[in-house]
Amino acid sequence: MSTTSLKTNLIKGLAFFSVLRGYNIMLIVVAQYLCSIYILAPDKPLLELLLDLNLFLLIVCTSLVIAAGYIINNFYDWEKDLINKPYKTLLDKNISQRAKINAYVIFNFTALIIAASISFRAVLFFSGYSFGIWLYSHKLKKILYLGNLMAAALAITPFFTVFVYYKNLDFYIILHAVYLFLLLLIRELTKDMENLAGDLSQDYQTIPVRYGLSRSKFWISALTLLSFIPSYLLFISGEIGLMKWYFLLANILLVFAIVWVYNSRSKNDYSLVHILLKIVLALGVFSIFLIDTSVVESLFSFR
């Protein structure tokens, strides 16, 4: 293979990874496994859980459907992203629109084939999930309020998959879900402010487009204050081990984010707030193992 051909294939691979948002998918896979190990099935032996074929297949199906969702979202947002994300679009254009549609169909079809090996209910679930993502990408994301709510709901669905699998939806798990849902809503509103120029050009009816940036900042503040309720209840519960310190740190960062949002004046400012919110979400994923204090003790033991 020539150097030019190798370079071309490398660029196409990076472009496809960018379209898929592979980093997000990897984070979701880690989150699903950590939730299973430390929250949903803490009494199960670790090896048994890791070797659970049905759990593995469910996570594979989820990853494929989410990957297909990112592809179709990228397909429909192409013109908007030319304005909002010019550098990313420059990379993504190495994957043709036709190739995106082909990959979208293949990923969804493969997910349903795998789901069929699990159960008929799994097929129905992933069919509905895939359709919901398409409907959001094609129509719902342009609708005021509904677009934000649907985006947050679809983002939390992968965790609902493992919740249902383990039939474990106790009060504290619901608090985790509510907190995550609120964080995702805050992130969606921040993205809307960041992407205001592209949304205006494509007639997206987002809160910043319809009501302006001041109203958006108000809603971000209100949702942040609301998120303090489930995080406080989790902090004082004694059910989440040392993960309670994550919620304290997250709330401090969220207060900082509110201050930052109110002082933001440009797209770059909102982009930095968006990055901060991504960090808060990522820290939440990797702090799940803190629920098991014995793991923390073994990590810091010198014996």
* Cα atoms found within 13 Å of the Cα of residue 137, Cβ hemisphere only: 20
* Helix 53-76 vs helix 146-166: crossing angle, to nearest 10: 170
pLDDT of residue 295: 55
d(CA 174, CA 164): 12
Determine the structural domain holding residue 249 and report its residue range: 170-303
Residue with tokens 């994550």: 246
Contact 173, 112 (CB under 8 A): no
Q: Are residues 148 and 243 in the same domain?
A: no
Per residue of the chain (303 residues), what is the pLDDT tens digit? 567 777 777 888 888 888 888 889 999 999 999 999 888 888 888 899 889 999 999 999 999 999 999 999 999 888 888 888 887 888 888 888 999 999 999 999 999 999 999 999 999 999 999 999 999 999 999 899 999 999 999 999 988 888 878 877 778 888 999 999 999 999 999 999 999 988 888 888 899 999 999 999 999 999 999 999 999 999 998 788 899 999 999 999 999 999 999 998 888 899 999 999 999 999 999 999 888 766 555 555 544
Among 121, 142, 164, give the residue marking a domain's end: 164
Give the per-residue SS3 of 210-253. HHCHHHHHHHHHHHHHHHHHHHHHHHHHCCCHHHHHHHHHHHHH
- 25 with 150, same domain? yes
Domain boundary among 123, 138, 164: 164
Q: CB neighbours of 135 closer than 8 A, spacing ≥ 6?
A: none
Shared domain check, 215 and 181 = yes
Domain count, the chain: 2
For helices 244-262 and 213-237, the axis angle rounded to 10 degrees is 170
Pair 108, 242 in one domain: no
Contact (CB, 8 A) for 271 and 188: no
| Residue at which a domain ends, from 110, 136, 164 | 164
Claim to verify: residue 130 and residue 265 sit in the same structural domain: no
In a domain, 158, yes or no: yes
Predicted local distance difference test score (pLDDT) of residue 161: 85
**Do 200 and 276 belong together in one domain?**
yes
CB 147 within 8 A of CB 207: no
Distance CA 190, CA 279 (A): 14
CATH at residue 144: 1.10.357.140
In order, the DSSP letters of 134-197 are HHHHHTGGGSTTHHHHHHHHHHHHHHHHHHHHHT---HHHHHHHHHHHHHHHHHHHHHHHHTHH
**What is the tens place of the pLDDT at every residue in 177-235?**
999 999 999 999 999 999 998 888 888 889 999 999 999 999 999 999 999 999 999 99
pLDDT tens readout for residues 36-59:
988 888 888 889 988 999 999 999
At 119, is the secondary structure helix, strand, or coil? coil
